[in-house]
Chain A
């Protein structure tokens, strides 16, 4: 079984400042990793995913994430945020050895202010 911990429930940030959202996971097998974004009253949209290869993954809207196997982390970053980045962000994992359910973290609410 897998579990996901998002270390911050809310992250306030000023416009044009950088942001980092932290995600740690626990699993007895190797995992695939995902970050999703949810804008208010909408469904989830995939930001990026790590399947294999380079540990630095680039996604949509200027976001990137780095997979660190030794620290079992997959932190999400953006060098300069916009007001439109205000949303909830979810980290998720699924096992690589078989088809498995996605396990989601509790989410991090990002609030960008001018």
Chain B
């Protein structure tokens, strides 16, 4: 089955620790995205990548880092510099060849900082 997988589904972290969220897709999409979701705020873009070995900051990149070494994978690291990391994180992918930016979403990872 084609799709996007995120792991783990739930993640707990102590303050001061870095943590990496996994995102893998087998849809052969060039573009991948990371969003943060907080209640009542919709989705906010953290980082996105349109091609391997290239990525751009979104609207709320501070305290996060990413890499794009493979087309299929776009891991997100939440660093200790992120002041309020508890949130639901969504990964998405999409095509860049067409002008409309339809995105396909993974099931999400809920991160809780203890």
Contacts and interface: CB of A to CB of B under 8 A. Distances in A.
Interface of A: 9, 32, 34, 36, 41-46, 49, 51, 90, 94, 96-102, 104-107
A34 B50 CA distance: 20
B100 A32 contact: yes
Given A104-B42, A104-B43, A107-B42, A43 B105 contact: yes
Contact of B102 (A9, A49, A105): A49
Contacts of A105: 42
B43 A90 contact: yes
Given A41-B88, A98-B99, A104-B42, 15 more contacts: A9-B40, A34-B102, A41-B110, A43-B90, A43-B106, A44-B105, A46-B102, A46-B104, A94-B101, A99-B101, A101-B45, A102-B103, A104-B43, A105-B42, A106-B41
B107 interface: yes
B96 interface: yes
A34 to B, nearest CB: 7
B75 interface: no
Pick the most buried of A9, A44, A90, A94: most chain B CB atoms within 10 A of its CB: A44
Interface string B87-114: 0101010001001111111111010000
Given A42-B107, A43-B90, A43-B107, A90 B42 contact: yes
B110 to A, nearest CB: 7
A9 B100 CA distance: 27
B86 to A, nearest CB: 15
Contacts of A42: 107-108
A100 B105 contact: no
A101 B107 contact: no
B34 interface: no
B105 A45 contact: yes
Contact of A32 (B58, B88, B101, B110): B101
Shortest Cβ-Cβ A-B pairs, 7 listed: A43-B105, A94-B101, A106-B42, A44-B105, A32-B100, A104-B43, A43-B107
B36 to A, nearest CB: 12
